[in-house]
Every structure is written in C-alpha cells, then in structure tokens.
Structure 1
Amino acid sequence: MINRPLCALLLALGLTACASDPAPTEQLRLTEQALTQAKALGVVGEQSESLRLAEEKFAQAQAALQDGENKQARLLAEQAELDARLAEAEHLSDKGREQLAELNQRIGRLRQQLGGM
C-alpha cells in the first residue's frame, strides 16, 4: 500500500512536470541589458563574433517566445546574455592591452630621455 503523503507528492511532481515553463521575460530583460551595456562600451557586432552571436541568439529567443517555446526561449536568452558578457570582457581586455602597450612606449621614451642626460 502506498503512503498517502508519498502519493500526494508524486501527483504534485507529475503535475509540475506537465506544466509549461513560464515566459522568460526577466531573462530576456537581462539579456537585452547585457547587449545594451556591451554596445555602450563600443563593442560592434561587425568586429566582435561574440556580440554577433549574442544578437542572433537574442533574436532566436524572441522568436521562440512568440512561438510559445518558453524553455527554448530561456535557453537561447541565457546563451545570448553570456555571449554579450563575453564580448564585453573581450573588448575590455583588448582595451587594457592597448593601454598597456601605450604605457610601455611612454616608459621607453622616458628611459631614452633619462639615458640621454
């Protein structure tokens, strides 16, 4: 004989497994925010493969949402957010390398000036 609380738990789990995923509106908002932030830093889709992928996945997520495929929309939106954040990190890393190279050039010039004295 099956225990009543166990039966109720199994029934509840079965019903939630059949329930559809909620619309990922918050995830889509976070993804859009990450895309906006990357673009505000100067990341351009033509120059950044990661940003281009993020934009494509975001568009696919919106289409999946329109088709009622909430789980697929959530997964694509999460991937798009991560791609946008990667694009931002790559951009900041490139800028840091450029600044470091410029500082090294300045240091070299200062050393030459000091050595010539």
Structure 2
Amino acid sequence: MRLTEQAVEQARAVGATEQVEEMTQAEQKLARAQKNMGEEDFKRARILAEQSELDARLAEARVLTQKSDKQLAELNARIARLRKQLGDVQ
C-alpha cells in the first residue's frame, strides 16, 4: 500500500491533477483499497492498490510527456524565429 501512496504522491508532484483521467482513477482506487484494508478484504485491497499504482504512473507519464511536448514546441518556435532572423540578415 505504501508504494501505491508514493506513486500517487509522485504523480501529484509532477503536476498530475484531477484533469488527468488516470490520476482521478488512481485516487479513487487508492481510496477503495484503503477501505478494503479496513474491512480486511486484503485480496481486493491488493488488486486495487496495484491498479492505483499503475494508473498513477500512467498519469505521471502523461503529464511529463505533455510538458516535454510543450518544451519541444517552444524550442522549435525559437529555432524558426532564429532561422527567419538569419534569413533576413542575408
């Protein structure tokens, strides 16, 4: 359960919010897993915790990919501006 909680926290730390569907799913499954632990339904809790961890890791990957895509687009725009400026100079 601790690894799952850490995965959810890590996803939050990189910027995953409820706007990322997998993050919402991760948080919901974690809450259900914790409830199942309290009810001593350990098998169901383990399954939900594992699913929650995977959802959180996917949410984290999506956020990081979006950030990388944004940075790449910004760099490409800068390169295009520089090329234009160099073209204007010649």
Deviations for 1:38-61, whole angstroms, at most 9, x for unmatched residues? 11111112x110000000000000
Could you tell me which runs of 5 or more consecutive residues in structure 2 were left unpaired when the two chains were aligned: none
| Larger relative helix fraction | 2
Partner of 2:42: 70
* Aligned amino acid, residue 83 of structure 1: D
SS, match of residue 44 in structure 1: coil
Matched, 1:43 2:42: no
Q: Deviations over 1:9-31 (max 9, x none)?
A: xxxxxxxxxxxxxxxxxxx1000
Structure of higher CA gyration radius = 1
- Equivalenced residue count is 89
Query: Offset at 1:89?
Result: 0.2
Q: From 55, 65, 79, give the equivalent of 1:93.
A: 65
Distance 1:54 1:42 in 2: 14
Residue 87 of structure 2 corresponds to 115
Structure 2-normalised TM-score? 0.97
Per-residue deviation at 1:34?
0.4
Q: CA–CA distance in 1 between the matches of 2:20 and 2:15?
A: 10
Which structure would you say has the larger RCO, counting Cα contacts within 8 Å and 6 or more residues apart?
A: 2
Q: Percent identity?
A: 56
RMSD between superposed Cα atoms in Å: 0.5
CA distance in structure 1 between the aligned counterparts of 2:57 and 2:78, rounded to whole angstroms: 32
Q: 1:61 aligns with which of 25, 28, 33?
A: 33
